[in-house]
Amino acid sequence: MLAKKIVIIVLLFSAIILGGCKSETNSNKDNSIAKEDDLTQAKLLIASDRKEIDIPDNVWEKLLPKDVYHILREKGTEMAFTGELLHNGKKGVYVTAGCKQPVFRSETKFDSGTGWPSFYEPISNNSIKIVEDDSFGIKRYEVIGSRCNEHLGHVFDDGPLPTGLRYCINSLALEFVEDK
């Protein structure tokens, strides 16, 4: 918690020094950035404790690597068996690649044989949203990070007990934070 506050203070100080003290605000939503091209403000929102944030795609495009942007914002899919986190066996938390929102614990990860990291349960029901997806003419359920609406993958009902679910998640949609 202290480290997070220090990061926020450093980012705020940097924003004041580099960009001057701006008084612009978005009166409609305090969880969206005031200017579409304000990367500093977007970074501050990501580092904040706000439950939901709204950052335009053109800003995400500047913040994220091209392949990560394609998955998180354009609902892309990485090639099976290519993700760095597929065979990660360390203990820790998987967070979304954009917002750094915790979504899965390593204890719920399993080898589904599908080529993507698979989990049988999210950290909490509030960490993700499930949205019906019939984009390929079949009914599927998309898994989205609840904080920044990041596309993570899909969930299927062929997973192990205790839930019977398989959250099939793009490795590039996640980052891993190892337990200390």
Structural domains present in the chain:
2-63 (no CATH), 92-178 (2.170.150.20)
Q: Would you call 21 a catalytic residue per the annotation?
A: no
Band of residue 128 on the pLDDT scale cut at 50, 70, 90: very high
Residue 18 has pLDDT above 90, yes or no: no
Structure confidence at residue 35 (pLDDT): 54
Q: Please name the helix (run of DSSP H) or strand (run of DSSP E) that holds residue 176, with its range, or none.
A: strand 174-178
Q: Could you report the per-residue pLDDT of 70-108, keeping only the tens digit for each?
A: 999 999 999 999 999 999 999 999 999 999 999 999 999
- Which one of 21, 99, 148, 168 is the catalytic residue? 168
User: Which residue type sits at 167?
Assistant: Y
Maximal C-alpha separation, the chain: 54
The pLDDT value given to residue 176:
98
CA distances from 110 to 37, 103, 106, 107, 164 (A): 40, 15, 9, 8, 12
pLDDT computed for residue 50 by the predictor: 76
Confidence of residue 24 (pLDDT cuts 50, 70, 90): very low
Neighbours of 66 (CB within 10 A): 7
pTM over 0.85: no
Q: Enter the DSSP assignment of 87.
A: T
Q: Output the average pLDDT for the chain.
A: 83
Q: Which residues pair with 169 in a beta bridge?
A: 153
How does residue 20 score in pLDDT terms, banded at 50, 70 and 90? very low
| Contact in structure between 60 and 75 (CB atoms under 8 Å) | no
pLDDT of residue 10: 36
Q: Are 45 and 53 in contact (CB under 8 A)?
A: yes
Query: What is the three-class DSSP state of 153?
Result: strand
